[in-house]
A and B are shown apart, each in its own frame.
Chain A
């Protein structure tokens, strides 16, 4: 029927043919296209990119260093973005653990235990949660900390060492009395037997010949003091707030060394405000007091301050994440039946105060914030001297804490667990958080050097995974 119709009406047949041909051709060529932006390194050469820093640089997350977290360290993400400019690095070496011990130091897991959801730390008692940890069974001579499997490869490009501070990077600052290679297991595993007692971090990073570097040092010069509630353990030379004099000497030495006295281009980042970390914001004083008053209206939360006075907690004090499991636990003081719980009381004298190590009291907060600002001032001046930009992570994270940050329709906040950005230790970012950190580095490097390095899709990197 159709055939005869067409054959008798050539005009229509031709038109139909034309339409169908045009249609198939049109459909094939119809896909809309958007020109791809070109990544450019500008004046930069990433052939040998080296990252100097602490746990944040190493990729430490969820209270541990392990291969999965190392793989999503911000230097690894930066190296990947740098490579997209065509100016290399061909490979970016990180000090991963061997495959059979891929879980390194072990890491916290979010588990539902007894109906309660919470982070669980790996340990001998729980068979390390099935994690393939890299402990050798030995301990470090300088600290008694458990030894980790040595890193056997060539000196890595990611030189991040969890725990290291500016103070502990330069042996001379502690009069060579605290050799870091026998104190910190993450540093010890990178060194040869001969280097361990002698080689400090500033010497170690001087062995590299980068074409571009990043340096994010200084957090541990205030963080350790803060997370310990302002309590410095006896015998720990690195547990306090580093003074500005020694920080200045150490920081300048580090940047001078890695920048080859200002001849190598790079970027540095400053110290975030540690008091906005979920480690300090997850257990608000007001909530704890409200909980206490709900059962005992006359009672409240009492703390022991850094100056050894006992007083009622106020909203100007910050409680550590660890305080949550301490507050309200029964008193162990003999002959003190009331109040029964740690931190609970009705008056300063009538209480079993929360120990100082679980509280960053108002005076300690002021000290930490002021010292952070002082040290950031030194970082800014040093950057100027060596002609590198500063990624202002202090302002960046404060902004996120106040306003959150959206990544491709996902809202990320600094809230513990639900916020996506911070891991289960409440201090270190998740892979998502590290991706956002990497993007901030990229923004600063692009702006300063006139490069056009692309950012990563942060959503490709996980936040917290739920059981």
Chain B
């Protein structure tokens, strides 16, 4: 039975080959004081971090410099739909978001200028070796650093506006997955790694703050979407069987990951000199992310020049509440909570973003060491609802390039920062 040639189109093998950049990959850890208060800030004017939350509020905030960072510890558990395999977890690694803000302006407080750097999107997950979903994703690293220049003007003592020019200064993606084709005598299947850096792109943010009295402030802000495009990223393939090599010749890839816009409204209330209360609502327009499309160059991957994987995210709302209380002149404590809607619809959950509705609890403190200098600390706990999708859901949605099962995620983020007020 000698068949003269076997066509290794491999299309089916690889229909999903590269379906995996990340999402739900927003990192809401923009500044230590705000984290402590449930990541509110649109209606507040605490410090130079207003550049992120509401550039309109910057002019009312004290000028200064602050820098902070945290370590996010995601803890994901996965069970296959049929639950016969053991529970899978991540190879635990931390992600380190950071931020820095500076602002300055004239004594009369008519305007302020600011500079900022922060990490609004990112993800890093390394699944356990040999887990069931390895043909969807084994590893993902997604990093972004935004820098922003901001101007904020007080039109009246009650009303201010502000705008920021935002640049995606650095973006980096590294996606890895196994490909279901294996060589004779090979211990592992083919492995594909797609890695590259994003092009520099510009966006903006805008904000308005209305402050009828010292006891009340209301803000709205908008942050534009930015398309993060990786062009000419590297394709690295290992364990390619010789006979299949002609179908795995790609050397470069191009992909675009839309980073969504955010519209926010917030309110700040100060019933006493010591107490500040804040409420925020955010609408994140995740619906811009409909599919992940990869185009290969230098050859093909799995016999194909491109691939597409459905995302079909939906816009998501988040509600946040926070409070801070000035215990002494030097010591301030904070607390907050938030509820964040999932942007990934049922049947579309991917291992790179095991998204789910989640709530979070936060706490934090500030300690003033001198007139101008102080330390901020924060701690965030985020609890994702357990979420399942069945193989039948995947078949219905045409999303069989991912795994059926149940995900449960917790995230812990301790953070620390320092500030200087000018």
Contact = CB atoms under 8 A, between A and B. Distances in A.
Interface string B166-210: 000000000000001111111000000000000000000000000
B135 A409 contact: yes
B155 interface: no
B180 A463 contact: yes
Interface in A277-314: 282
A41 B181 CA distance: 35
B183 A467 contact: yes
B213 interface: no
B12 A415 contact: yes
Interface string A321-358: 11011000000000000000000000000000000000
State which size class the interface on B falls in: 35 or more
B77 A416 contact: no
A418 B82 CA distance: 26
B84 A457 contact: yes
Contacts of A455: 82, 84
A39 B84 CA distance: 8
The winner among B77, B183, B400 for most chain A CB atoms within 10 A is B400
A116 to B, nearest CB: 5
B183 to A, nearest CB: 6
Instruction: Name, among B73, B76, B84, the residue most crowded by chain A CB atoms within 10 Å (CB to CB).
Output: B84
Nearest to B130: A460
Nearest to A33: B77
26 contacts: A9-B367, A23-B414, A26-B412, A30-B410, A32-B75, A32-B77, A34-B78, A36-B87, A84-B84, A110-B6, A116-B4, A117-B243, A118-B6, A119-B1, A321-B1, A406-B401, A408-B135, A418-B9, A420-B13, A454-B83, A455-B84, A457-B85, A457-B132, A465-B182, A466-B183, A467-B242
Interface string A425-467: 1000000000000000000000000000011110100110111
Given A31-B410, A466-B182, A120 B2 contact: yes
A408 B135 CA distance: 7
A408 B12 contact: no
Interface stretch (A11-19, A42-50, A93-101, A230-238): A11-19
Nearest to A327: B4
**What 7 A-B pairs come out closest when comparing CB atoms?**
A454-B84, A406-B400, A466-B241, A37-B83, A409-B136, A32-B408, A32-B77
A26 B12 CA distance: 44
- A interface residue count range (under 10 / 10 to 19 / 20 to 34 / 35 or more): 35 or more
A39 B241 CA distance: 38
A322 B1 contact: yes
B403 to A, nearest CB: 5
Interface in A64-113: 81, 84, 108-110, 112
B28 to A, nearest CB: 19
Q: Which of A33, A81, A110 gathers most chain B CB within 10 Å?
A: A33
Nearest to B94: A27
A413 interface: yes
Contact of A409 (B7, B10, B401): B401
Nearest to A63: B1
Contacts of B7: 418
Interface in B1-41: 1-13, 15-16
A455 B180 CA distance: 20
Q: Count chain A CB atoms within 10 A of each CB in B89, B180, B241, B400 and give the residue with the most.
A: B180
A416 B6 contact: yes
B394 interface: yes
A31 B365 contact: no
B80 interface: yes
A334 B186 CA distance: 50
A419 interface: yes
Contacts of A324: 3-4
Contacts of A463: 180, 182
Contacts of A5: 369
Interface string B396-413: 000011111010111010
B89 A31 contact: yes
B13 A108 contact: no
A321 B402 CA distance: 33
Interface string B298-315: 000000000000000000
B287 interface: no
B16 A411 contact: yes
Nearest to A416: B6
B379 interface: yes
B364 to A, nearest CB: 10
B85 to A, nearest CB: 6
A381 to B, nearest CB: 30
B79 interface: yes
Contacts of B183: 465-467
B391 interface: yes
Given A31-B77, A410-B13, A425-B1, 12 more contacts: A34-B79, A81-B84, A117-B5, A119-B1, A412-B12, A415-B12, A417-B6, A420-B180, A455-B82, A463-B180, A467-B183, A467-B241
Contact of B79 (A31, A36, A322, A419): A36
A12 B243 CA distance: 65
A237 B110 CA distance: 103
B331 interface: yes
B408 to A, nearest CB: 4
B1 A408 contact: no
B291 interface: no
Contacts of B365: 15
Contacts of B87: 33-34, 36
Contacts of A454: 82-84
B386 interface: yes
A61 B365 CA distance: 67
A374 to B, nearest CB: 30
